[in-house]
Structure 1
């Protein structure tokens, strides 16, 4: 009988962390080894996630939790949904203990991702960093990359809850990255544009692709990619109505990351 994958959830008291705690606990091939956060210390992670007591208390001691998980016979995985200010160190520490990180926290710089990639390569340790774990969004991004070959104008509108720390979202930046590199510049202006308010036309990402960010209570995560051409527009849109949308992708990444020997950026790399 195959033993379950031990999983440590970092950021377990957050909204997304609670969803991951519940999903991991209910997955037949996984076990929630530890729950780490700086709030709700000593509270049961299951109680906090609305499942009842599961005998996994929340601790603030990440290092000890990682060390204990690294001593398990089965290769452990660390799922991180924390904050851009802490995620880089969390990933390095997880890899140092031989655990495989699955990271949904956005806000890492390109330089940080490159440094983590080198660190993971040297340790021959798998790591998955994904701006978005919703399978529908991953498919939208792939479709956008295909459509971008045939349009000269495209803009991205991303909408998130007002507790999101970074803007633009990592998902929007990843979408722009996937559409760029075609040897052309998008959105070449036909007139001399003048912004009456700074950034009224959004932020310019790669190859002239523009991104607009909205932050409002009541939203979760939403994105539109709008293409324009003579006499037509084409809009791709993905809406998240519940955080459960991310669970299939997260559970898939937990299973896949143990087979990797390096860092991959984007869930599409392991589909």
Structure 2
């Protein structure tokens, strides 16, 4: 029996460390993990509420897991468990690359929702995970509805030559465009099609008003406003018609089924996988 299967056959809960536990997404992950019978919330890392019971912080009552700011110690503790451990990361683009490398180095499987990694960083992490035969999941968006939107966009691209993407997020999001918008553009670009053939010679009177160009000439427009959570539109146009696909997040709880699925699936992987659609 493979080592992974042998360790999982014990039926003991999967040890989980949550990095970024006091942030908006991290709080939801704490609730979901602590309530899942097959998961064991081993520890949490946050920038605020250090020393406080994270259950009290997120509003579910005491669970005897204090908030710490020492990720390295928690990774070491997780590595010493007999069960294969998982680190869930919802932190900041400036921190996530080193967080993933540290987790892999300790033998802890990363499940990453933090966006902002460059293509070069993802490639480097993929090589690092391959050398360690370590599962790693980087998922720009954990919502099932977003996966369905992306699949619908792929189908629509067979019939429309013009498309642009608008992504809207809360004004505390540090990176733009969103990882989800970039992933959506990449999916469309991978079809080998040239989009948005020019009808006129365009000129921007104000730099950037036409958005950023990615992939095969696909423009992404980013909005940042208080009151928003996470939203995306993929708009296709053709003579006489416009076809709009839109996904709206009204509560971060919508991401939790995807997060829990990723925690369970990453233990079966031996390499880095990018995108929720790859594990559904």
Task: Give me the TM-score of the superposition, normalised by structure 1.
Answer: 0.98
Within a 5 Å distance, the mapping from 1:1-271 to structure 2 comes to 2-271=11-280
Deviation of the 1:111 alpha carbon:
0.2
C-alpha distance after superposition, 1:75-121 (max 9, x if no partner)? 11000000000000000000011111000000000000000000000
Of the structure 1 ranges 93-102 and 145-154, higher mean CA displacement relative to structure 2 is found in 145-154
Query: How many residues end up aligned between the 2 structures?
Result: 271
Deviation of the 1:184 alpha carbon:
2.7
Deviation of the 1:37 alpha carbon:
1.6
Q: Distance in 2 between matches of 1:67 and 1:213?
A: 39
C-alpha distance after superposition, 1:191-246 (max 9, x if no partner)? 11111111111111110101000000000000000001121111110000000010
Deviation of the 1:22 alpha carbon:
0.5
Question: Secondary structure in 1 aligned to 2:173?
Answer: coil
Question: Secondary structure in 1 aligned to 2:127?
Answer: helix
2:3 corresponds to: none
Q: Distance in 1 between matches of 2:91 and 2:34?
A: 19
Q: Distance in 1 between matches of 2:191 and 2:131?
A: 32
Q: Distance in 2 between matches of 1:46 and 1:6?
A: 17
Of the structure 1 ranges 30-39 and 79-88, higher mean CA displacement relative to structure 2 is found in 30-39
Structure 1: tracts of 5 or more residues without a match = none
Deviation of the 1:137 alpha carbon:
0.4
Of the structure 1 ranges 193-202 and 73-82, higher mean CA displacement relative to structure 2 is found in 193-202
RMSD: 0.9
Moved over 4 A (4+): none
Q: Is the contact between residue 149 and residue 182 of structure 1 (CA under 8 Å) also seen in structure 2?
A: no
Q: Distance in 2 between matches of 1:266 and 1:227?
A: 23
Q: Is the contact between residue 160 and residue 216 of structure 1 (CA under 8 Å) also seen in structure 2?
A: yes
Q: Distance in 2 between matches of 1:184 and 1:55?
A: 54
Structure 2: tracts of 5 or more residues without a match = 1-9
Q: Is the contact between residue 80 and residue 104 of structure 1 (CA under 8 Å) also seen in structure 2?
A: yes
Task: Give me the TM-score of the superposition, normalised by structure 2.
Answer: 0.95
